């Protein structure tokens, strides 16, 4: 019931977006989605479809689903579609009759050269769709659905933001527990296993592949990101950082926290470690304060990057932040530099309801990587934290008492 409510909410939002972008009709055309699914289907149906299926939304408000007979009941129960047609022999007849009746001037479909979350239409299904539309003279009316899909994923409703907040709260709770658990002499693997058990205890999922969720890195000369925890031992004088998130109500979190492992003779945090941490904090906060609707992502990245470089560190080799939603990397707009690999994403403007990470990093020589990853949501006039900002280093004593 909860999932169906959200689907109806997002379908209604999609109709509003079609009107905003002057697109008559949007078709999500799929088959065997358990093998080759379209990322947008989560918002439209919420489960897999088997045979060739067409989910059709229009700017007039008409909603149609043409699906295999055995998928019909499941789609009907979402309550999002006025017409649900179940076929046995093939989709062609029902699909062509529907399109003739709708007679759209523009037909948006799920392809994109720059955005993976908008590129769900396979080449084979594209050819099938073109062939069908050619029969009724509509094959030249296709446009990319990128603007609709991007906005649908990015402009999160209050329900969606509530789910993200819930995932963040669970993540922060587990971070608090592991901060009391870590002891010098443990391995990265031991720390990760503790956190995985906490996830399982709460009966939630992992935000990404469990092999690297959490990712745990201690000391200098590590892989630094996107790598499985190892048998490397946590030692006094190390900086330790973790990248971790959970999945709750189909929405995820993505946070990073940095720890310092105290040496027996430490009377406080060493100056080089403290400087690195303080620089990261300034970088994040200066970026957050600059965020508001209408600002392009690359401008926010530049502010954070300049803070790092001005303090004497190398610029971080990745974007400042990505969007988060149903996936840890989710959405078209990016807080990143104008690098080839990012395409047009950094040039997209921020919009209210977008949820981003802010995750600069730097290296403290001989200690390790200092990084924090916070999550924020864009508001009508700025951006507010969804996470509780890490304002001080998490200190691990050299000996637990």
Mean pLDDT of 171-190: 97
| 228's tokens | 């499985």
The answer to whether 289 and 303 are in contact (CB under 8 A) is: no
Note the pLDDT of residue 114.
Answer: 85
Give, for 8, the enclosing helix (H) or strand (E): helix 2-20
CATH of 155-396 among 3.40.50.970, 3.40.50.1220, 3.90.230.10, 3.30.70.3280: 3.90.230.10
Calpha distance 383→274 (Å, rounded) = 26
pLDDT digits (tens, 9 = 90+) for 235-256: 999 999 999 999 999 999 999 9
pLDDT tops 90 at residue 97: yes
Element (H, E) at 31: none
pLDDT band at 401 (very low <50, low <70, confident <90, very high): low
Please, what is the Cα angle at 233 between 232 and 238, to 5 degrees? 105
Please identify which residue in the block is written with the tokens 């290296």: 363
Structure tokens at 382: 């700025």
Any idea where the domains of the chain sit in the sequence?
A: 2-153, 155-396
Helical (H) or strand (E) element with 353 = none
pLDDT at 383: 98
**Mean pLDDT, residues 200-204 taken together:** 97
- Rounded CA-CA distance 224/220 in Å is 9
Average pLDDT taken over every residue of the chain? 95
Residue 400's pLDDT is: 61
Provide DSSP, 225-255. Answer: SS----SPBP-TT-EEEEEE-EEETTEE--E
As a whole number, mean pLDDT of residues 56-79 equals 97
Q: Please give the pLDDT value at position 376.
A: 98
Integer Cα distance of 131 and 353 in angstroms: 38
Contact 16, 24 (CB under 8 A): no
**Which is more confidently placed, 384 or 2?**
384
Q: CATH classification of 2-153 is 1.10.3720.10, yes or no?
A: no
Which positions ≥6 away from 140 have C-beta within 8 Å? Answer: none
Q: How far is CA 109 from the centre of its chain?
A: 22
* Predicted local distance difference test score (pLDDT) of residue 265: 85
The pLDDT score that the predictor gives to residue 1 is: 58
Q: What is the pLDDT of residues 298-320, one digit of tens each?
A: 999 999 999 999 999 999 999 99
The pLDDT assigned to 19 comes to 98
Q: Residue 138: its pLDDT value, please?
A: 97
Query: Are 40 and 147 contacting, i.e. CB atoms less than 8 angstroms apart?
Result: no
- The secondary structure of residue 373, as a DSSP letter, is B
* Residue range 212-218: mean pLDDT, rounded: 96
Instruction: Report CA 19 to chain centroid distance, whole Å.
Output: 26
Determine what percent of the chain falls in helix, strand and coil, rounding each to the nearest 5: 40, 20, 40
In DSSP notation, 309-365 reads HHTT-PPPSS-SB-B-SSSSS--S--B--S-GGGTTGGGSBP-TT-EEEE--EEEET
Residues 6+ apart with CB under 8 A from 201: none
Half-sphere exposure at residue 54, Cβ-oriented, CA atoms within 13 angstroms: 31
Mean pLDDT over 247-270 rounds to 93
Rounded CA separation 255/174 (Å): 11
């Amino acid at each position: 019931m909860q999932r169906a409510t959200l689907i109806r909410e997002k379908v209604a939002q999609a109709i509003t977006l079609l009107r905003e972008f002057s697109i008559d009709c949007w078709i999500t055309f799929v088959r065997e989605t358990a093998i080759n699914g379209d990322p947008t289907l989560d918002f439209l149906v919420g489960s897999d479809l088997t045979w060739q299926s067409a989910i059709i939304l229009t700017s007039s408000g008409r909603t149609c689903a043409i699906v295999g007979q055995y998928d019909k009941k499941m789609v009907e129960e979402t309550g999002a579609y006025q017409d649900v047609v179940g076929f046995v022999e093939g989709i062609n007849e029902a699909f062509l009759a529907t399109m003739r009746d709708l007679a759209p001037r523009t037909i948006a479909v799920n392809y994109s050269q720059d955005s993976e979350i908008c590129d769900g239409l396979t080449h084979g299904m594209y050819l099938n769709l073109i062939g069908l539309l050619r029969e009724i003279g509509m094959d030249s009316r296709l446009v990319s659905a990128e603007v609709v899909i991007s906005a649908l994923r990015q402009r999160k409703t209050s329900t969606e933001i509530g789910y993200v907040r819930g995932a963040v709260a669970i993540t922060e709770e587990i971070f608090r527990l592991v901060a009391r658990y870590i002891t010098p002499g443990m391995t990265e693997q031991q720390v990760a296993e503790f956190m995985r058990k906490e996830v399982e205890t709460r009966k939630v999922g992992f935000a990404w592949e469990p092999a690297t969720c959490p990712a745990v890195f201690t000391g200098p000369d590590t892989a630094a990101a996107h790598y499985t925890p190892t048998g490397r031992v946590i030692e006094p004088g190390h900086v330790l950082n973790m990248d971790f998130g959970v999945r709750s109500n189909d929405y995820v979190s993505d946070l990073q926290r940095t720890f310092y492992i105290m040496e027996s003779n430490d009377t406080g945090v060493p100056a080089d470690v403290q400087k690195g941490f303080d620089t990261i904090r300034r970088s994040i906060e200066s970026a957050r304060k600059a965020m508001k609707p209408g600002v392009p992502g690359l401008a926010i990245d530049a502010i954070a990057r300049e803070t790092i470089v001005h303090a004497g560190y190398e610029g971080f080799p990745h974007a400042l932040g990505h969007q988060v939603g149903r996936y840890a990397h989710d959405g078209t707009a990016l807080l990143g530099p104008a690098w080839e690999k990012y395409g047009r994403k950094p040039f997209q403007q921020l919009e209210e309801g977008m949820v981003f990470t802010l995750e600069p990093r730097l290296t403290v020589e001989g200690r390790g990587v200092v990084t924090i990853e916070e999550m924020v949501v864009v508001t009508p006039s700025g951006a507010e934290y969804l996470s509780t900002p890490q304002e001080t280093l998490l200190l691990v004593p050299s000996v637990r008492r």
